[in-house]
Structure 1
Amino acid sequence: MLSIELWCVGGLKESYWKAACTEYSKRLGAWANVTVHELREQPLPKDVSPLQIEMSLRAEGVRLLAALPKDACVTALCVEGREMDSGALAQTLDRRMTGGQSRFCYVIGGSHGLSAEVKARADEKFSLSRMTMPHMLARVFLLEQLYRAISILHGANYHK
């Protein structure tokens, strides 16, 4: 069975984000095993310097790289990634699955993004939007789009 894993720096505190993620994970569950992994965000001082941010991203990156499965197709969500519509996301998944891939990991960084090392490890880089959004919203948006893409591949009525 298809495996979709979200690797997220930071957690969800508000119940409405959790409810939305739960709903789309449940919907995806008809076609895939969905797992969400949360890694704690590195604490930073209020007046943070660029060097402190870089060190924080590297520390988070080390933890992510140690945790990511070696056999998975890893997609880093980042601003410099490729933007695509829902149909293109479905085609990308289909191409990877046809090539034998069944385990997909999507990595969402914390408030400062992802380290260069995590981006370098990724098989693909994907941008949800050119607009900046909080990682909580990115998680919901990604799950919804994955559900939409997989429903396209299965000929379900969800996508319009």
Structure 2
Amino acid sequence: MNIKFIVVGKLKEKYFKQGIAEYAKRLTKFCKFTIVEVPDEKAPESLSDAEMSEVKEKEGERILDKIKDREYVYSLEILGKERSSEEFAKEIDQLATYGHSDLTFVIGGSLGLSPAVMKRANAHISFGRFTLPHQLMRLVLVEQVYRAFMINAGSPYHK
């Protein structure tokens, strides 16, 4: 199985990098894991609605350029569907069983995802209504992907 994260922006914080690297190493037992960073669009602090849409559209084009037709895409969205860890694990297992071996997770920039990216997604996932920094979301997501594999392997990690 191939797991890919497409994320907007660079990860600068050393402690996030270390945490993500640890889970990426653990994931090598279960899948090929990659992170693809696309540049964030530089924008001033206060933007009009039109400028916000333009920023999301440009970032969205960069994201869509990194997605292949065969990939099953999850977009991370506040209004996406919440799942328990067990439900998420079962979903990943079923996708693999039914021929979806390329899973891609998309984390947008500070303004969110473009409508085009949300439309391309096969599933929309939420980790609750909290707003989290996208750097932290990478760490949370990679841990949950690892947890899903551990649940599916019957490991006590999840307890």
Does TM-score exceed 0.5, indicating one fold?
Answer: yes
Q: Give the Å deviation of 1:70.
A: 1.3
1:97 has 2:102 as partner: no
Alignment-derived partner of residue 118 in structure 2: 119
1:67 has 2:66 as partner: yes
What is the alpha-carbon distance in structure 2 between the residues aligned to residue 34 and residue 129 of structure 1?
24
Amino acid at match of 1:25: A
Gaps of 5+ in 2: none
User: Which residues of 2 match residues 13-52 of structure 1 at below 5 A?
Assistant: 13-52=12-51
What is the alpha-carbon distance in structure 2 between the residues aligned to residue 33 and residue 88 of structure 1?
22
What is the alpha-carbon distance in structure 1 between the residues aligned to residue 51 and residue 157 of structure 2?
44
Equivalenced residues, count: 159
Q: Which runs of 4+ in 1 moved over 6 A?
A: none
What is the alpha-carbon distance in structure 1 between the residues aligned to residue 46 and residue 141 of structure 2?
31
Q: Secondary structure at the match of 2:157?
A: coil
Normalization by structure 1: what TM-score? 0.97
Amino acid at match of 2:18: A
Amino acid at match of 1:18: K
Alignment-derived partner of residue 5 in structure 1: 4
What is the alpha-carbon distance in structure 2 between the residues aligned to residue 10 and residue 78 of structure 1?
17
Alignment-derived partner of residue 54 in structure 2: 55
User: Which residues of 2 match residues 70-85 of structure 1 at below 5 A?
Assistant: 70-85=69-84
Q: Give the Å deviation of 1:80.
A: 1.3
Q: Give the Å deviation of 1:11.
A: 1.3
Q: Give the Å deviation of 1:46.
A: 2.4
CA RMSD of aligned residues (A): 0.8
Q: Secondary structure at the match of 1:52?
A: helix
What is the alpha-carbon distance in structure 2 between the residues aligned to residue 54 and residue 4 of structure 1?
29
Gaps of 5+ in 1: none
Q: Give the Å deviation of 1:47.
A: 2.2
What is the alpha-carbon distance in structure 2 between the residues aligned to residue 15 and residue 94 of structure 1?
32
What does the per-residue CA deviation read over 1:11-65, in whole Å, with 9 as the maximum and x for residues that have no partner?
Answer: 1101001001101111111111100000011000122222111100001111111
Normalization by structure 2: what TM-score? 0.97
1:130 has 2:134 as partner: no
Amino acid at match of 1:144: E
Q: Secondary structure at the match of 1:81?
A: strand
